[in-house]
Chains A and B, each alone.
Chain A
Amino acid sequence: MKQLLILSGKGGTGKTTIASAFIKLSGAKIYADCDIDAPNLHLIMAQNIEPKRTDYFGMPKAEIDIDKCIECGLCKENCRFDAISNKNGFMVDPYACEGCGVCEAFCPVNAVSMKPAIAGELMLYADDNNVFSTAQLKMGSGTSGKLVTEVKKQMRTMESPDTKLAIIDGSPGIGCPVIASLSGVDMVLIVAEPSISGISDMERIIKTAETFNTKIGVCINKYATNPANTEKIEEYCKEKGLPFTGRIPFDPEAVAAINNGQTIVDVDCPAGAAAKEVFSSTMKLLIKESDGADA
């Protein structure tokens, strides 16, 4: 099975719009949304199915038993995350606690214990034809990389020998969830936007993806909004030897389709037509280069 991951660096360039179009076009039976901070793919791809929900436990959180506490202050002193305060007795701020266990190890009277904590929820939408794995991180939670890994793992449990393709919608940025989503994929498609900000962010996500030695393709969304910057992106790809898989125009009909819960290839619109071309050159790239690697 080949895994295609869609990333962008900058937010709002159209990752989910393109991921949902690709899922439709490819008939991919397995797909995932790794943007667990702000997931959206389910709004398009899973409107009428109830998912199977599983609690996701992140790192355990420290808890102080006030009755046992002798107020020596060792926990507070050794906590690197400023998670322990002493206002009316020693207390742990569960949002700041990273679950390292230092306070537990140093408490002379065993007043600290590490308690399991729910950090999010995994969702699995499955019917006879499709499997869609996604999750929602709890507000203000850390450990987002681990949850991304769980989303991908959950997706793969439903893989069968004749599954050819999985499409994964990624998150913005270059940090922990993005890095977790990159591991093990066969190709990354970067959706760039022709703005100065978009170009800066694209360069940073390409640098990040390169450290994984993953195949990279680039496409441009909303290209006509700034033709000069579109040129710059294509020029950049040429210089870096990165395959360019096409341009998609800004298209009010595409916006309307998404707002109706449809993909942009469900309606007859310029953006949908362009997405089809981007899809076919992306698939060629995904398959062609892997043949080369196999030979």
Chain B
Amino acid sequence: MRIAVLSGKGGTGKTLVSVNLTAVAKSSTYIDCDVEEPNGYLFFKPKNIQEEEVYIQIPKVDENLCSGCRKCVNFCKFNALAYIKDKLIIFEDICHSCGGCILLCSEKALAEKVRVIGRIQKGSSEQVTVYTGILNTGETSGTPIIKKLLDENKPEIKNTTFIDCPPGSACIVMESIKDADYCILVAEPTLFGVYNLNMVYDLVRLFNKPHGVVLNKCLDGENPAESFCVENNVPILGRIPFDNDLGSLNSNAKIAARESERYKVLFSSLLETVMKEVRHETTINPQR
């Protein structure tokens, strides 16, 4: 069972929700797909870390074989190749690794080489298995890291798995929720929060994912995120209050559900609601 946690807007509490739900789910898996700014490991402080590099394949040129025909240069839709002063130049940063130039070169002057763009760490924290994807600074796309993180965990997922997604609604988020069985949208009661909630709400519907909303940072009085859910008939899975104790635990990278009985109760009851929803959705939509 894979449950993705997303929000559109940053800082609404994706990591808070996914870390604490994983922690109360006991024997479960946490995957941090926010590879640009991973934070979950700061909370779990996983032990027995195994690390693996993630690389992409990019072309390299053998100048002795290159005839200067420019077939590759003309082909590359990303303008990652140029032929300047009798020399083929490859702009590694903008290469999308499609492999087209290598396939097209009639002189076999191009071959593949690997370029490391980041790494994956696997470790454990109590009964939780923690996966973290980390993009190297200066690299533009973390999508290959997310693909690897999720592919590796595909076979026989007996454990409940929580996927902590990046902010936004672009390709990198789509990749993170692609194989999810259920999506939790975390919303905060602000003008910005509701606007971005609307965006991810569109995204999960576009990909036909069953979903529900967790209202975070709830204060007394009107909650625009709640009104949004009511208007659109989106199930509200739970409410997390805006409170200083929780804020302080969280800002010190402590797992609230492990530190305090009160939050353990709160997140356990949220987990129960989530699992009930997930089971309900998978029974009415078994093909998923």
State the A residues within 8 Å of B (CB): 9-13, 16, 37-38, 40, 43, 59-60, 78, 80-81, 95, 98-102, 105-106, 137, 139-142, 144-145, 171-179, 193-198, 200-201, 204-205, 207-208, 211, 225-226, 229, 255, 258-259, 261
CB distance from B72 to the nearest CB of A (A): 11
B170 / chain A contacts, CB cutoff of 8 Å: 37, 137, 140-142, 144, 177
Given A100-B77, A106-B103, A145-B140, A259–B169 Cβ distance below 8 Å? no
Count residues of B near A (Cβ-Cβ below 8 Å): 56
B142 within 8 A of A: yes
Of A43, A60, A204, the residue contacting B192 (CB under 8 A) is A43
> Once the chains bind, are A174 and B137 in contact (CB under 8 Å)?
yes
> Once the chains bind, are B103 and A9 in contact (CB under 8 Å)?
no
A172 / chain B contacts, CB cutoff of 8 Å: 10-11, 36-37, 167-168
* Complex-state Cα separation, A195 to B251, whole angstroms: 4
> Once the chains bind, are B167 and A201 in contact (CB under 8 Å)?
no
A145 / chain B contacts, CB cutoff of 8 Å: 140
B230 within 8 A of A: no
Interface string of B168-200 (1 = CB under 8 A from A): 111111100000000000001011100110010
* Complex-state Cα separation, A200 to B173, whole angstroms: 21
* Complex-state Cα separation, A129 to B139, whole angstroms: 38
> Once the chains bind, are A258 and B252 in contact (CB under 8 Å)?
no
A144 / chain B contacts, CB cutoff of 8 Å: 170-171
Selected A-B contacts with CB under 8 Å, 29 pairs: A11-B9, A11-B11, A12-B188, A16-B192, A38-B8, A40-B192, A60-B77, A81-B98, A99-B77, A102-B100, A139-B202, A141-B171, A142-B170, A144-B170, A144-B171, A172-B168, A174-B36, A175-B135, A175-B141, A175-B172, A195-B253, A196-B252, A197-B42, A204-B36, A204-B37, A225-B244, A229-B251, A229-B252, A258-B190
Of B78, B190, B251, the residue contacting A196 (CB under 8 A) is B251
> Once the chains bind, are B77 and A101 in contact (CB under 8 Å)?
yes
> Once the chains bind, are B9 and A139 in contact (CB under 8 Å)?
no
Interface string of B206-237 (1 = CB under 8 A from A): 11000000000000000010000000000000
A interface, by DSSP: helix, strand, loop or mixed?
loop
B15 / chain A contacts, CB cutoff of 8 Å: 197
* Complex-state Cα separation, A139 to B252, whole angstroms: 34
The residue on B at minimum CB distance from A139 is: B203
CB distance from A262 to the nearest CB of B (A): 10
B203 / chain A contacts, CB cutoff of 8 Å: 139-140
A229 / chain B contacts, CB cutoff of 8 Å: 251-252
B250 within 8 A of A: yes
> Once the chains bind, are A9 and B37 in contact (CB under 8 Å)?
yes
The residue on B at minimum CB distance from A114 is: B77
CB distance from A276 to the nearest CB of B (A): 22
Query: Told that A172-B167, A175-B135, A196-B251 touch, could you supply 7 new A-B pairs with CB distance under 8 A?
Result: A13-B10, A78-B99, A95-B171, A172-B37, A195-B252, A196-B253, A198-B251
The residue on B at minimum CB distance from A259 is: B191
* Complex-state Cα separation, A105 to B98, whole angstroms: 12
Residues of B100-117 contacting chain A, CB below 8 A: 100, 103-104
A173 / chain B contacts, CB cutoff of 8 Å: 34, 36-37, 166-168
> Once the chains bind, are B173 and A211 in contact (CB under 8 Å)?
no
Of B104, B137, B247, the residue contacting A204 (CB under 8 A) is B137
* Complex-state Cα separation, A229 to B249, whole angstroms: 12
Q: Which of B8, B142, B192, B207 has the most CB of A within 10 A?
A: B192
* Complex-state Cα separation, A194 to B96, whole angstroms: 36
> Once the chains bind, are A139 and B199 in contact (CB under 8 Å)?
yes
Given A38-B169, A195-B251, A10–B10 Cβ distance below 8 Å? yes
A101 / chain B contacts, CB cutoff of 8 Å: 75, 77, 98, 100
> Once the chains bind, are B37 and A38 in contact (CB under 8 Å)?
no
The residue on A at minimum CB distance from B142 is: A175
Considering the complex of A and B, which 6 residue pairs feature the smallest CB-CB distances, nearest first? A11-B10, A12-B11, A37-B168, A100-B98, A196-B253, A195-B251
Given A11-B167, A175-B140, A201–B206 Cβ distance below 8 Å? no
Of B98, B167, B206, the residue contacting A37 (CB under 8 A) is B167
Given A172-B37, A197-B39, A207-B137, A105–B75 Cβ distance below 8 Å? yes
* Complex-state Cα separation, A82 to B236, whole angstroms: 35
